[in-house]
Amino acid sequence: MRKLWVILAALVALNLNGCGYNAFQSNDEQIKASWSEVVNQYQRRADLVPNLVNTVKGYASHEKEVLTQVTQARSQASSIQISPEVLSDPAAFAQFQAVQGELSGALSRLLAVSENYPQLKADAGFRDLQAQLEGTENRIAVARNRYIKSVQEFNVTVRSFPSNLTAMAFGYKEKPNFTVENEKEIAKPPAVDFGSTLAVPPSGSQGAVK
């Protein structure tokens, strides 16, 4: 009897592997782990914002519009509840991308404005925060890339035969992913407009940012 159960268990295991069920479990766990790292790095960035804003304010308090934009973008990004459901909800995932993209843009504008203030650029605290922010952005890029690859592997399993039959049987669906357009947008450098009049920069410095 024991041998019979062993044989049956082996057959079940082979069937689970063949139909892709185990692959779904493995890929799903990898997606969750990769997503946790994405969220962790975005939170790391958000935690840098208050000190960065306060440091810039000490030298350029009249740049209220840019400072306010960063603070508001950080607030919106932090207000989204990150739950496992986000990974299967295209609308919620798109909202997450949007608010993080807004914060990325606001931070780019803030750093560009700092170019107009040599004393701010020379401040050791600001340089340290800027270095931390740049390092965090690199970590975000790496974490996002790992997540993208994990989701791609999962989605291929959802679409491939015979694992697509298992997907239909257990309700597994393709998960939303970061888009190529979104990746390009975040990677864009801040646009500089020499015709704007945010503040009169010191002699020899660049113009204000859009």
**Per-residue model confidence (pLDDT) at position 4:** 42
Q: Which stretches within the chain are classed as H helix?
A: 2-19, 21-59, 64-79, 90-113, 118-122, 124-159, 163-170, 180-187
Domain extents for the chain? 2-187
Check if CATH label 1.10.10.10 holds for domain 2-187: no
- Residue-wise DSSP of 52-111: HHHHHHHH-TT-HHHHHHHHHHHHHHHHS---GGGGG-HHHHHHHHHHHHHHHHHHHHHH
The confidence score (pLDDT) of residue 88 equals 87
pTM of the entire structure?
Answer: 0.74
In angstroms, the CA 99 to CA 96 distance is 6
Q: Over its length of 210 residues, how does the chain's per-residue pLDDT go in tens digits?
A: 554 433 333 334 434 445 678 888 899 999 999 999 999 999 999 999 999 999 999 999 889 999 999 999 999 999 887 777 788 899 999 999 999 999 999 999 999 999 999 999 999 999 999 999 999 999 999 999 999 999 999 999 999 888 888 888 888 899 999 875 545 554 444 443 433 333 434 444 444 333
- Sequence-distant (6+) residues with CB within 8 A of 188 are none
